[in-house]
Amino acid sequence: MISSMTGFGRGEVDRDGFRAVFEVTSLNSRYLEVSLRLPRWMASHESALRSTISAKVGRGKVVAQLAWERTTFESPVQLNEALADWYIENIKRLAAKHQMASSLSIADVMALPEVWIGGENANEAGTVENVVREALEKALDQMTQMRRDEGLKLAKDFRERMDFIRQAGERIKGLASVQVDAYRVKLTQRIDEILGAGGYDPQRLAQEIAYMAERTDITEECVRLDIHCRHFIDAIESSEPSGRRLNFLLQELNREVNTIGSKAASAEISTLVVNLKEELEKTREQVQNIE
């Protein structure tokens, strides 16, 4: 079933001392365009998050924004006080031994090697990545559902429009079948008015009518119009993204309607052609929003 390219989703995960909130929006686009707005320290995870998005979204302009906070704080490092004391005692001893003034500050001590023990916790980094990805997946699921719901509404509208087009095509086909006889009567009456009854060559008149019948024959166009409508419905019901296919079918439908309009020999057919063009234009506007 078709999906809209317009949607919004929000995913929130609060676990293991971390809280991540992802908001994802999508708009119309010819291709998949992903814009990620992440904190600087998340730069190394950007590629994986992009892959998560592309696995669930086929087409559209997607903007994903992360809000992040630590809900509990545990220091990732510890002070090695014994080593710091050793540094201080020995620096003072050396200063006294060599009769040198010591201007040692606490900042100097804190900067000495291995005064701080620890560093990045690999388990914590993995937890952060999992929390962020889970929040993104929740947001994407919500957005995808919204896009599908909108797609269901559009599919209903498309079916109604295709039914209208097919019925109009059948009506045009019926009118076209009688327009040759109407042309024959009209042409004969006009010639009689000008030349009088029997003042023309019947064979020449028959040739003119045959030429007109061939020039205005729209049987093939009406058949193709019906076929394209059926293919349009098939595309709507396909499980694959079908926005580009629907666009192509609309172009073909427009081509057939334009040809019918150029061959129309009656005001009623011309009116139906105008109505068909209006329906196709409305459909085209909606198709631009299909994934």
Q: What is the per-residue pLDDT for 119? A: 47
For residues 281 and 272, what is the distance between their CA atoms, to the nearest angstrom?
14
pLDDT tens-place string over residues 183-199? 566 666 666 665 566 55
Of the pLDDT bands very low, low, confident and very high (cuts 50, 70, 90), residue 278 is very high
Q: What is the per-residue pLDDT for 122? A: 44
Q: What is the per-residue pLDDT for 109? A: 80
Task: Kindly tell me if the per-residue pLDDT of 47 is higher than 70.
Answer: yes
Task: Kindly tell me if the per-residue pLDDT of 172 is higher than 50.
Answer: yes
Mean pLDDT, the chain, as a whole number?
Answer: 84
For residues 184 and 207, what is the distance between their CA atoms, to the nearest angstrom?
11
What's this model's pTM, rounded to 2 decimal places? 0.67
Task: Kindly tell me if the per-residue pLDDT of 160 is higher than 90.
Answer: yes
Quick one: tokens of 209? 């009518």
Q: What is the per-residue pLDDT for 150? A: 94
For residues 237 and 146, what is the distance between their CA atoms, to the nearest angstrom?
18
- For residues 122-139, give the mean pLDDT: 82
pLDDT tens-place string over residues 59-109? 999 999 999 887 776 655 677 888 888 888 888 888 888 777 777 788 888
Q: Please give the share of the chain, as a percent, with pLDDT higher than 90.
A: 47
Of the pLDDT bands very low, low, confident and very high (cuts 50, 70, 90), residue 40 is confident
Block residue for tokens 């109604």: 160
Q: Which of these ranges, 43-52, 73-82, 114-123, 231-240, has the smallest mean pLDDT?
A: 114-123
- For residues 216-230, give the mean pLDDT: 87
For domain 7-73+121-147, the question of CATH label 3.30.230.70 is answered with yes
- For residues 141-154, give the mean pLDDT: 94
* Domain boundaries for CATH 3.30.230.70 within the chain: 7-73+121-147
Quick one: tokens of 240? 């694959």
